[in-house]
A and B are shown apart, each in its own frame.
Chain A
């Protein structure tokens, strides 16, 4: 099957749905969205705590403070032009969501409610500030629902349950997308003037993750397979509070409402690590502090590998009215009632700061010197506009979706208005058909689930919260071995319709690519910054490493990666913040 759209959005989470709405608002532009799930199943729906914007509804707040917090939180790897646009635009974007009907929680005066969150401060670090606009503890769910509703209203065309197999890119021009329709097993060609990638992250490369089973880095991998670079993959965020063993997210809003982390002796240990804002320090610092406690023998549980989140001092009605979903998770999965008992938590793989490099308008970058892949855009977690730098602040992912999803949608539509449809190559489906043929007709017997599990276990051990050269060198070899074994994988299910075995085999291929690029990027960065924490290079080194990694596949040496670098943008349009030591 062959389709033609001016703008094609891949992915139907917050960024994709915002992009499609804005592309559709532009004149004379046809828009469609393809997604491997039903849009309402997208992982934006799992976000809980809030979207940060300096509305100042509870206490005085300014976009300049938000910009500073974002840059400092990102350990100065944040591009400051992106941070300035973001912290200004997110205010208007939040109001816009409200105008779309999003049911924010409210203050007694009728305004949008706001609460505290990690790393958000007033007066450039003096004390915590209420910046997270929230809708109970299902803010992401409400954003996803609202944006889907608005797309229904706008009559957006959706292709649900389509697995993307390939991007058609020739001579640095993107011409479309090849995808597998899961319900029929048929391969479709989507011919487009511009394509927006919005497919989210790849948490499933790790053993313990808050991410959905579907988050396997598909479009990052496909981009990388084209010989194009992935930016800053070494920066991967572990959220401090995942439910022990399960990794299910417990929002930072729980600490924003006054929750406290305690070790085995009941000590509030964050006082030692971040004396000013304590439990509301940024995620990288809290995650590391938790692991230090565990490593030094102060963990709890059978294996002493968890830490306790204490909400018991909060009034029952606050817990049940502002945190009902996470209360339900603790009760359902651990049989623990947060009203009366402490909740065992562990850091959980949560968010990719890196991804497809883009300009502030979401244009995909083909290299470190700023050349573009014309007609290709990216927004949300799949993208790296480098708003989050080395560590994302809580609530800034939802803000990122709406601000940069909108910018990408507008830019892609504007481009499509002027561009012509490019001629497709002969037989554009050839690569995709070959990919599937290989998996379907392979004679190998290795098992997808076993390889995936070995990948997830080893990435967690070797490229997790604490890193060192020796472990990561070992991981490079492990990934190469797993890639070799992946060649012996074959799909045994011959059925065309809903062949989910085939999908999982494809996804494993994507994950292995990401692991390759990520491990190499992390191994080469010889410093500690944000989420990238090295035991053999413990200090941040601005002289040598205040720069973004650009990782390219080395086609001449399979399994190897070519690393290049580009400078961090150190000033915004009007403000700039000089890198300083990061203390809270």
Chain B
């Protein structure tokens, strides 16, 4: 089959503003959008710029706006987007500065991640073996551990578009993963950060994040759980 791939292009070394470029690409219905981009880069226009690495949805490099929705280019197949002769549009994720074509500046995203203290805190002496944890306690925070930090959620959030200082859904998911870990003792510090005006109260429950997550994490639900934890300052 043949599809028309319409890509947003922007090279700050020569362009004042972004423009669109179309490529007619021969492909199979089971091809990933990443395969199309690779085909364009390798055989049609070597200047096309994007991030990619694992190509199967676990490294989070190739988050982009595909047919108007945030997705991983390696996890969405052509047949799920269009038919023979159809068009697929590809743009950079929104709310982060575009460095070149589909590649954005990830630093503000990782700054927000670091702000919530996304690491295990427990200063008690460790036992000789493992710290025990029940199957049920382990299950409470399982969803958050799936996060690959691709930024699909945060960059689909209208609040984040308006106010880039909002920590955003990805950071709150990371905080949730530790707040609800029975072994962790750093929740008070994290809840203070999340109670600031850049924290959870910015969330207006738009559900965009949950819809965008390529790992199917129920993000809005996790944010609600964090809001309740902040409200009662306990887990």
Which residues of A have CB within 8 Å of B146?
138
Asked if A213 contacts B53 (CB within 8 A), the reply is yes
Asked if A333 contacts B56 (CB within 8 A), the reply is yes
Asked if B58 contacts A141 (CB within 8 A), the reply is yes
Cross-chain pair count, CB within 8 angstroms:
148
Which residues of B have CB within 8 Å of A541?
none
Q: Does A142 contact B (CB under 8 A)?
A: yes
Which residues of A have CB within 8 Å of B149?
38, 40
Which residues of B have CB within 8 Å of A246?
56
Q: Does A123 contact B (CB under 8 A)?
A: no
Q: Does B20 contact A (CB under 8 A)?
A: no
Asked if A497 contacts B12 (CB within 8 A), the reply is yes
Asked if A101 contacts B138 (CB within 8 A), the reply is no
B95-119 contacts to A (CB < 8 Å): 99-100, 103, 106, 110, 114, 117-119
Which residues of A have CB within 8 Å of B119?
101, 149-150, 152-153
**Given the known A-B contacts A111-B132, A448-B42, are A497 and B100 also in contact in the complex, defined by CB atoms under 8 Å?**
yes
Which residues of A have CB within 8 Å of B53?
37, 41, 43, 212-214
Asked if B77 contacts A332 (CB within 8 A), the reply is yes
Which residues of B have CB within 8 Å of A333?
30, 32, 56, 77
Residues of B in contact with A, size category: 35 or more
**Nearest Cβ on chain B to A444's Cβ, whole angstroms:** 14
Asked if B120 contacts A100 (CB within 8 A), the reply is yes
What CA separation (Å) do A152 and B43 show in the bound complex? 40
Point out the residue from A43, A136, A498 that lies within 8 Å of B59, measured CB to CB.
Answer: A43
**Given the known A-B contacts A101-B178, A101-B183, A149-B118, are A212 and B55 also in contact in the complex, defined by CB atoms under 8 Å?**
yes
Per DSSP, chain B at the interface is loop
**Given the known A-B contacts A38-B110, A495-B11, are A106 and B148 also in contact in the complex, defined by CB atoms under 8 Å?**
no
Point out the residue from A37, A45, A136, A492 that lies within 8 Å of B148, measured CB to CB.
Answer: A45
What CA separation (Å) do A99 and B129 show in the bound complex? 9
**Given the known A-B contacts A41-B59, A248-B56, A332-B77, are A110 and B42 also in contact in the complex, defined by CB atoms under 8 Å?**
no
Q: Does B142 contact A (CB under 8 A)?
A: yes
Residues of A in contact with B, size category: 35 or more
Which residues of A have CB within 8 Å of B61?
37-38, 41
**Nearest Cβ on chain B to A206's Cβ, whole angstroms:** 14
Point out the residue from B57, B60, B100, B126 that lies within 8 Å of A332, measured CB to CB.
Answer: B57
B168-195 contacts to A (CB < 8 Å): 177-178, 181, 183-184
In the complex formed, the residue of A with least CB distance to B147 is: A145
Which residues of B have CB within 8 Å of A448?
42
Asked if A498 contacts B49 (CB within 8 A), the reply is yes
Residues in chain B within 8 A of chain A (CB atoms): 11-14, 30, 32, 41-43, 46-47, 49-61, 75, 77, 99-100, 103, 106, 110, 114, 117-120, 122, 126, 128-135, 138, 141-142, 145-146, 148-149, 177-178, 181, 183-184
15 pairs, A vs B, C-beta closer than 8 Å: A40-B59, A43-B54, A45-B58, A101-B181, A111-B129, A136-B142, A149-B119, A183-B99, A329-B57, A449-B42, A493-B46, A495-B14, A496-B13, A497-B99, A498-B100
For the complex with contacts A42-B59, A495-B11, 12 further pairs of A-B residues with Cβ separation under 8 Å are A45-B58, A46-B54, A99-B126, A101-B119, A101-B183, A106-B133, A109-B132, A111-B132, A146-B120, A248-B55, A333-B32, A497-B100
